[in-house]
Structure 1
Amino acid sequence: MTLRHLKIFVTVCETGSTTAAGEKLHIAQPSISLAISELEDYYGIKLFDRIAKRLYITEAGKKFLQYATHIVGLFEEMEREIKNFDATGIIRIGASITIGNYLLPGYITRFKKIHPQMDVKVIIDNSEKIQQYILSNQIDIGLIEGIVYSPYIAEHKFRDDELVMVCGNAHPFANQKNVEISKLQNESFILRESGSAGREIFDSTMTSLGIKILPAWESTSTQAIIRAVQANLGISVLPYLLVKDSLNRKEISQFHIDGIRFQRSFSVIYHQNKFLTESAKDFIALCK
């Protein structure tokens, strides 16, 4: 078993077929198939089920992929670092929308003061996608809200956060302190998309209380939600960091549900098999 075998396996997983992997790696398709067979024989496992001329990764293959992805990634990182030891390095950061909007710019500014030659690449997406990018080695470090689901991801909580209920200034709930939860069922909700950490917390809380909410609107854009709330088209629940400016300008109003608070944590995450460079450790230390 060699690094070449691992790279072929990872590429087959990425492309979905031995033919596409061969084209990407400039290797003949029979050599790709042979490398996969050699891996399976070496470890005594089936990496793929072959059904109707298509490949379907097995559970053993999924576990193997987690290790192979990071072994290949670590080797490629070593190649870049050693061959260009004095050149500019790259750190790849992923952040949820809330963190990316309000905290990440400050973290990167401070990081660049410590490592002025480092190039920082950033992806902003919802927390679920950021976890997927960690698992597929598309980013080195992630900053997310809410719960980590994969056992392959290491996490360190670094800050607490709260979601708040908001409505238009003309809405009957505006500035109310003890709105009964049962009254929410009669309201139109404008919510973030499924997969966002805030939406997940809100949905799970409502479900645990026996309240079923069917959103009238769903959006990946916080600003679109705020504008719709401002126009009194519905109510919403959003991170305080994302609505505090609108609240301070009195564009929208906050209200409280009797006996309920939506609290969560921000976490810095990375793959448990990831080799953390000194610059990566420095970035993590800045997250507070």
Structure 2
Amino acid sequence: MTLRHMKIYVAVFQHSNITRAAEELHLAQPSVSLAVKELEEYYGVRLFERRGRRILPTEAGREFYGYALHIASLFDEMETRIKNWDRIGTLRIGTSITIGTHILPELLHRFQEQFPEVRTEAEINNSSLIERRVLDNAIDVGLIENQPEHEDICAVPFMRDELAAILPPGHALGRQKKVTLEQLAEYPFLMREKGSAGREILDAAFALRQQAVHPVMESVSTQAIVRGVAEGLGVAVLPYLLVRRAIREGAVIQVSLAEPMERNLNIIYHKSKYLTGNMNTFIELCKQYGEETDHE
């Protein structure tokens, strides 16, 4: 049996008339009658009783209609969804904590204005886990703060960010125009957790200087670290995107690093990933956002 048989049967059942069903389907009446006959012969049951110009379903016919309607409707739904996937599908996005907190909400707002019927699913975690999720095809597009390590991942920079040294108000180093990491390391240090992009950059910078730093506080929460610095627990080096508000409000003070530490924020996806139209649109929105931020 074919899908054509199912659609013809549904039309005949709904109209109780071969002629009207043929008109709806734009088929010749004999073709519709033949399809119904073929169904009855195939299943070995009578599906309709003929009464004058009307045909009425038998008990078997009513049972068969439920299946035929479901099959035909499911096929139509599949056709609609797949042909319009870029308009009504799902976009799975994963971001690092920094990007998810400060950039993703604006990106999602812009994307949903263009694709209101596309469902977006967002996962926020540290960069290494987002990279793993891209490799596992658990997300379509990732936004992370470092360069991916795996060769199967493509990375496209979309904006730049810098690491900022922050101190408690009134700190001794606050009177200097610039400070070195060595100077900062002389004070209690507050750091993000291992595995976060900012922590990896900072650890690498200290390793190059053959300097070991044992933080007095580690946290997945940047706000907890900022609050700790504001309360005088120590100093920190964090992404500027995460601390600019606290700096503007005067909760902490920023001192320029003698050797600036900048990094690219990257769009990542698997090299074998087929990028749909809505994925490409999201990637372009990320690039536009980065260009706007660079010009601020």
TM-score by length of 2: 0.67
Q: CA deviation at 1:201?
A: 0.8
Gap change, CA 1:164 and 1:102, over 3 Å in 2: same
Structure 2 counterpart of 1:253? 253
Paired residue secondary structure (1:162): strand
Letter of the 2:129 partner, please give it: K
Letter of the 1:188 partner, please give it: P
How many residue pairs end up in the alignment?
208
Do the aligned partners of 1:170 and 1:232 also contact (CA within 8 Å) in 2? no
Structure 2 counterpart of 1:230? 230
Do the aligned partners of 1:144 and 1:269 also contact (CA within 8 Å) in 2? yes
Paired residue secondary structure (2:225): helix
Paired residue secondary structure (1:287): helix
Structure 1 counterpart of 2:281? 282
Query: What do the CA deviations read for 1:27-86 (whole angstroms, capped 9, x no partner)?
Result: xxxxxxxxxxxxxxxxxxxxxxxxxxxxxxxxxxxxxxxxxxxxxxxxxxxxx9757335
Structure 2 counterpart of 1:272? 271
Paired residue secondary structure (2:267): strand
Q: CA deviation at 1:183?
A: 2.7
Query: What do the CA deviations read for 1:143-195 (whole angstroms, capped 9, x no partner)?
Result: 01112100010111111110101011032122522334433332111100111
Query: What do the CA deviations read for 1:194-232 (whole angstroms, capped 9, x no partner)?
Result: 111111111111111222211111100011111101100
Do the aligned partners of 2:147 and 2:155 also contact (CA within 8 Å) in 1? no
TM-score by length of 1: 0.69
Query: Which structure shows the higher helix fraction?
Result: 2
- Give the Cα–Cα distance (whole angstroms) in 2 for the partners of residues 275 and 235 of structure 1: 45
Paired residue secondary structure (1:151): coil
Do the aligned partners of 2:180 and 2:259 also contact (CA within 8 Å) in 1? no
1:163 aligns to 2:177 (yes or no):
no
Cα RMSD between the aligned structures? 1.7
Paired residue secondary structure (2:184): helix
Do the aligned partners of 1:190 and 1:229 also contact (CA within 8 Å) in 2? yes
- Give the Cα–Cα distance (whole angstroms) in 2 for the partners of residues 91 and 114 of structure 1: 13
Deviant stretches of 4+, over 2 Å: 80-88, 178-186
Q: How does 1:63-212 map to 2 (within 5 A)?
A: 84-85=81-82, 88-174=88-174, 176-212=176-212
Gap change, CA 1:175 and 1:122, over 3 Å in 2: farther
Flag structure 2 segments of 5+ consecutive residues without an equivalent.
1-76, 288-296
Flag structure 1 segments of 5+ consecutive residues without an equivalent.
1-79
Identical pairs, percent: 38
Q: CA deviation at 1:261?
A: 1.0
Task: Return the index of the structure with the highest Cα Rg.
Answer: 2
Gap change, CA 1:217 and 1:82, over 3 Å in 2: farther
- Give the Cα–Cα distance (whole angstroms) in 2 for the partners of residues 215 and 287 of structure 1: 34
Paired residue secondary structure (1:147): coil
Letter of the 1:250 partner, please give it: G
